[in-house]
Amino acid sequence: MGQEEGVRILRDKTIVLGVSGGIAAYKSAELCRLLIQEGAAVRVVMTRAAQEFISPLTFSTLTGHPVLTEIFGAGSGGPLTHIDLARAADLFLVAPATANILGKLAAGLADDLLTTTALAVDCPTLIAPAMNVNMFAKAAVQENLNLLRRRGWGIIEPDEGFLACGTTGKGRLASLERIVAACRRALAPQDFRERRVLVTAGGTREPLDPVRYIGNYSSGKMGYALARAAWERGARVTLISASQLPPPPEVDLVPVVKAAEMLAGLQERFAAADVVIMAAAVADFRPVQVAGRKIKKEDQGELNVHLEPTEDILATLAQVRQNQLLVGFAAETEDLLANAGHKLAAKGLDLIVANNITRPGAGFGSETNIATLIYPGGQYQELPQLPKLEVAYRILDAITTLPRFQRGESGPERKE
Ligand code: CTP
């Protein structure tokens, strides 16, 4: 496996991007750039209506390939272009898709190069509709979408918000972040398909008074990377987060502040979960007394705060587990293997991800991590310094090798 296989899912993949004629067509230019930045080669097919909104020159300049617009004659690239495109395509994406193109795709029509190519492809297919709110809500459009969904098209639902026609509602092209995420999921291994994964992230904050808390330096980036990677690999992900970061697309976000709330959030969802990954930096202690109003310095000579231990979340979950697979993290400053190995055993974990936070490139807030994966038998695997999304992919790879995962005990077929 390449050094950054997980991060570069789209590298060297050919994405055939169909652009149909809606105002959101201008956003497809930026989408092209993002896909190319991810390492993909993008070949653009435009309908005639799309060319009313944006010039093929924009796309040919961005992609470095001529834009194909016709079945015959100039702009066709030859009579078998749809077949050549279909053979080259690792992914076929229509963005934006108008109501008209949805209707044609649902009916199996092939009266232009985009719809003809759509019939010829033999690769994952995605569609990102964009139109006026009333058009999108129409039964004809919804039924066409349902039909396409049943036939295996991935539907990237539109966002809600202000639309070009001046109204507000559902119909705006999905954010480009969501479209890129959907492309990545379409081409990522689906070895977590339908597994229910709970990920915790960020540093919990334990209040002292209404304006102060005891916290830690955790950014939440590692947990967010794990949530994103698990979703890309097919999981149904809930992210229980004490971090301030914006959530990755398509994961179910449960914001929490305190350790007790994180525990409650997990307990509520634990029975239905298959895998729990505790990437959060949970406060080990909290103030016994939380002042109802701001502590004023003139009222205090010095301030002594009495702390009590928080619940150990992983240990608490381990006591009531059925077959859930539990993964912990260990942020250490010394004796990495011994300390993390001890936590693995003490908390009844299936895997622990240890990192020495004093090493440059491994600490809180860093974009990278240097992790050691430790298994119950004492075996361990040292990973090099990698971007956190890549580390997340490696952790998920390790999870798939664990007996509890392979036996499917943590899988969808598990009896409840
Ligand atoms: N953890 C937890 N509940 C806590 C504290 C930690 O579930 N109250 C989890 C963390 O999310 C992490 C693992 O336990 O996955 C190890 O966390 P860490 O803080 O490194 O270990 P502790 O057990 O708290 O030990 P110490 O702080 O003494 O190193």
pLDDT band at 81 (very low <50, low <70, confident <90, very high): confident
The mean per-residue pLDDT over the stretch 254-264 comes to 98
Distance, in Å, from the CA atom of 78 to the CA atom of 130, rounded to the nearest integer, reads 30
pLDDT band at 171 (very low <50, low <70, confident <90, very high): very high
Residue 3 is predicted with a pLDDT of 55
Contact call for residues 190 and 163 (beta carbons, < 8 A): no
Domains in the chain, start-ordered, CATH in brackets? Answer: 7-187 (3.40.50.1950), 196-406 (3.40.50.10300)
In angstroms, what CA-CA distances link 152 with 13, 42, 49, 147, 156?
20, 22, 26, 9, 13
Residue 221 is predicted with a pLDDT of 96
Q: Please, which residues have CB within 8 angstroms of residue 119's CB and are 6 or more apart in sequence?
A: 108, 110
In testing the pocket of ligand 1, which one of 199, 256, 278 has its CB within 8 Å of the most ligand atoms? 278
Cis peptide before 96 (omega within 30 of 0): yes
Assess whether pLDDT exceeds 80 at residue 82. Answer: yes
Assess whether pLDDT exceeds 50 at residue 416. Answer: no
Report CA(66)–ligand 1 centroid distance (Å).
Answer: 55
Assess whether pLDDT exceeds 80 at residue 411. Answer: no
Assess whether pLDDT exceeds 90 at residue 216. Answer: yes
> What length is written for the chain?
416
Report CA(311)–ligand 1 centroid distance (Å).
Answer: 10
Report CA(188)–ligand 1 centroid distance (Å).
Answer: 31
The percent of residues above 70 in pLDDT, for the chain, comes to 97
Contact call for residues 238 and 246 (beta carbons, < 8 A): no
Phi, psi of 381 (to 5 degrees): -135, 120
Assess whether pLDDT exceeds 80 at residue 323. Answer: yes
The mean per-residue pLDDT over the stretch 230-234 comes to 97
Q: Please, which residues have CB within 8 angstroms of residue 51's CB and are 6 or more apart in sequence?
A: 21, 69
In testing the pocket of ligand 1, which one of 226, 277, 284, 320 has its CB within 8 Å of the most ligand atoms? 284
Q: Which of 32, 123, 165, 183 is catalytic?
A: 165
The mean per-residue pLDDT over the stretch 276-289 comes to 97
Residue 282 is predicted with a pLDDT of 97
The mean per-residue pLDDT over the stretch 330-343 comes to 93
In testing the pocket of ligand 1, which one of 343, 350, 364 has its CB within 8 Å of the most ligand atoms? 343
Report CA(290)–ligand 1 centroid distance (Å).
Answer: 23
Pocket of ligand 1 (CB under 6 A): 259, 278, 280, 282, 284, 310, 312-314, 328-331, 343
Residue 415 is predicted with a pLDDT of 42
Give the model confidence (pLDDT) of 284-303 as tens digits.
999 999 999 999 887 777 88
Provide the token pair at 123. 């690769």
18: Cα separation from own chain's centroid: 24
Provide the token pair at 247. 């959530």
Report CA(195)–ligand 1 centroid distance (Å).
Answer: 25
Residue 44 is predicted with a pLDDT of 97
Give the pTM.
Answer: 0.93
Give the model confidence (pLDDT) of 361-399 as tens digits.
887 888 899 999 999 989 999 999 999 999 999 999 999
**Listed range (81-85, 155-159, 189-193) with the worst mean pLDDT:** 81-85
165 assigned to active site: yes
Contact call for residues 323 and 317 (beta carbons, < 8 A): no
